[in-house]
Chain A
Amino acid sequence: MIDLEHATKLYGTVIGVNDLTVVLGAGAHGLLGPNGAGKTTLLGLVTGQLRPTMGRVMIFGERPFGNPRVLARIGYCPAADLLERGATPREWVSYLVRINGVIAPAAGKAAAMAIDRVGLGEAADRPLMTLSKGMRQRTKLAGAIAHDPDLLVLDEPFVGLDPVARHDLVVLVREWAVHRSLLVASHLLHEIEALDAGLAVILGGRLVASGDVEEIHALVETMPAEIRVESASPRRLAEIACSSGLVDSLRFDGHAGLAIGTRRPRELVAMLGRAAVAEGIVILALSAGDRSLEGVFDRLVQLHRGIGSGSGGPRPPAPAGLAGESLP
C-alpha cells in the first residue's frame, strides 16, 4: 500500500526525510517520532503534497504527487489548526467533498454522515470560530473521512482533545482500521499503542525502527541499556562490574556516580546487588532505563542521538535489523 524506496526530501539544505525505505501493507500503522523528526514531511510525501527530491514514493502502486487516482483514495487530517472560522463544520466538510467532484446534495449527505460519525452532530451548524479546538479537530477528521477513502492519514489527531474525546476518537479510528488502512503520526507513544497499530519510529528524517510493540521491545532488549549507580565506592563497583563481563561501556559521573552500559541489565543489577552485600559497599541509588513503551521510545531516541551508551565508548550500532523492514 505504502512503498517508499530511498525516499529523500530536502528543503534547500535542510533534510526533511532522509533516505527512507519502508513498505507498509494494508492495516493500521503508527508513525512515531519527536517534534521535528520528519513525520509531517513523510506524510506530505505519502499524501502527494510533496515530491521526493530523491528516491521513490508509491501509494497503491502509483506515485501520489499530482495523481488524482491516488488522491481520491486518501483522506488526510493535517496537524495544523483549521482557521477557516466563518464556515460551519457542515459547510466545510460538504465543501471538501464537493471539491472531490461530488454533486452538492450527495456531498451534503456524506458530510452529515461523517459529522455524525465523529460525534459533532449538535455543533454541525455552529460557526467554526465558536467551536473548541477539539471540535475543530473532529471537523478536520470528518473532512478526511467524508469521501470514504481507502487510506486515512492522520497527523497528530489527538492534540487538543479532552480524555473523553480522545477515547471516542481512538474507538472511531480503531473501527476504521478494521476494514481500511490507517497511518497515524504522533509524538506520543501511548496514543499509537492505543490504536493497536504497527510502529515505525522516525528520527532526524530516518526510519530507525519498525515492527509491532513487542518487536520494538525485543529490539531494545538487544541494545545497550544504561544503569546508573550512586555509591560511596564507585571505583570498587566499577572493578566488580568490569570483571563480570556484562559491561559494554562505563563512565564515572562526579564523585559518586557511575553509568554502566550493558545489554544484560537485569543480570548486571542482580550481580551488583550481590557484590554490594558481600563487600559491604553502600549503594545510595540505582536506576535502570525505563522499560515501558515510553521508555523504549526514549531509548531509541537516545541511541539515535548517540546518548546513553556510555560516553567515550563506541556508539552503539543503529537498530538496522528492523529499520527499513516491511510491515504486513
Chain B
Amino acid sequence: MNALRGIIAVAGFQIRRLLAPQRIALALVGAAFPAAVILAVRRVADLNLDVLALLLYALVPEAVCMLGLLVTMCPVVADELERGTWQHVAVRPGGRRSLLLGTFLAAVAWSSLVALLALALALAAAGLPDSGPLAPMFAVLVLVSCVGRAALFSLPAVIVPKRALVASVAVAFVVEYLAGFLPAVINQLTVSLRLRSLLVRWMGWERKLPPELSLIIDTQPPWVQIVAVVALASVFLFAASIILAGRQFPPAEES
C-alpha cells in the first residue's frame, strides 16, 4: 500500500511538471502534426479507409507516441540528477521504484492523451464519413504502444541516464524497427510486431497481405497480442527497477 502511494505521488508530481506552458505547447504541436500530414496528403490524392489506417498507424501509435515517450520517459533519472532532486528521492524508502513506476504512469497518461488528441484531429482532417470505427481501434493501439514503449525506454533511461534520449532512439530503431521486422523468434519480443498484428487483424487485411509480408505479423488473436505487450512491459519495468535500485551516482559536488 505504501509503495502504491509513493508511485501515485510521483505520477501526480510528474504530471504537474508536464503541465508547464512550454510542455503543453510542444504537446499541441505534436498532436497537430498527423492532421497536418493528412491534410497535405488530401491535397494530392484521394484518401480511402485503408490508406487512412496506414497513415494513422505510422503517424499516431508509432510517431506521436514514440516522440511523446522520448520526452517524458527517457529523462526519468537524468531530470532528477539535473534538478538536484535525485538525492531527495533516492533516500526515501522505495523512492527509486516509486520514481520509475510513477514516471512510467505519468508518461503513459501524458503520451496517450496527446496521441488521442492527435488521433481525433487526424480523423477530423481526413473527413472520411466511414472512418468512425477507426477511432476505438486506434485508441487501443495508442494505449498498447504507450505502455510497451514507455517500459522499453525505461531501460536505457536507467542504464545510461545521461545519454537516455540517444540510447532510446537507438533502441527504438534496433529493437522495434530492425528486430521487429525480422521473421524470427526475436520479433516476438517487440511491441511493433504486436501493434502491426493488431492493425492487420482489425482492418481485416490478413487475406490481402502477400505471403512474404505475413511473415512479419503474428496471427494469434488480439487478446494474445495485448497480453504479450503487458507481459513485455512488466519484464522491462522489473528489469529497470532492479537496475535502478542498484544505481549509485557519485556526488556531483563534494562539499
Contact = CB atoms under 8 A, between A and B. Distances in A.
Count class of interface residues, chain A:
35 or more
Interface in A20-48: 35-41, 44, 47-48
Interface bin, chain B: 35 or more
Interface string A70-104: 01101010111111101100010001101111111
Contacts of B251: 40-41, 44
Nearest to B7: A99
Nearest to B83: A83
B21 to A, nearest CB: 11
Contact of A81 (B84, B94, B95): B84
B123 interface: no
A187 B85 CA distance: 23
B20 A86 contact: yes
B6 A100 contact: yes
Interface string A153-191: 001100000000000000000000000000001110000
A241 interface: no
Of B17, B85, B252, chain A has the most CB atoms within 10 Å of the CB of B85
Contacts of B87: 49, 76, 78, 80
Interface stretch (B8-16, B56-64, B134-142): B8-16
Contacts of B255: 35, 39-40, 79, 155-156, 185-187
Contact of B84 (A38, A82, A96, A101): A82
Contacts of A36: 254
A71 B91 contact: yes
Contacts of A49: 87, 90-91, 248-249
A82 to B, nearest CB: 6
Interface in B5-61: 5-6, 8-10, 13, 16-17, 20
Contacts of B90: 49
Nearest to B84: A80
A285 B184 CA distance: 87
Contact of A95 (B9, B91, B253): B9
B189 interface: no
Contact of A99 (B17, B89, B246): B89
A3 to B, nearest CB: 19
Interface of A: 11, 16, 35-41, 44, 47-51, 66, 68-69, 71-72, 74, 76, 78-84, 86-87, 91, 95-96, 98-104, 107, 140, 143, 155-156, 185-187
8 tightest Cβ-Cβ pairs between the two chains A and B: A101-B2, A68-B93, A98-B9, A40-B251, A80-B84, A78-B87, A79-B255, A156-B255
Interface of B: 1-3, 5-6, 8-10, 13, 16-17, 20, 82-85, 87-95, 98, 245-246, 248-255
Given A35-B255, A95-B9, 10 more contacts: A40-B254, A66-B245, A82-B83, A83-B82, A84-B85, A86-B17, A91-B16, A98-B5, A103-B5, A186-B255
20 contacts: A35-B255, A40-B251, A41-B251, A50-B248, A66-B246, A68-B93, A71-B93, A71-B95, A83-B83, A91-B16, A98-B8, A99-B94, A101-B2, A101-B6, A101-B94, A102-B5, A103-B5, A155-B255, A186-B255, A187-B255
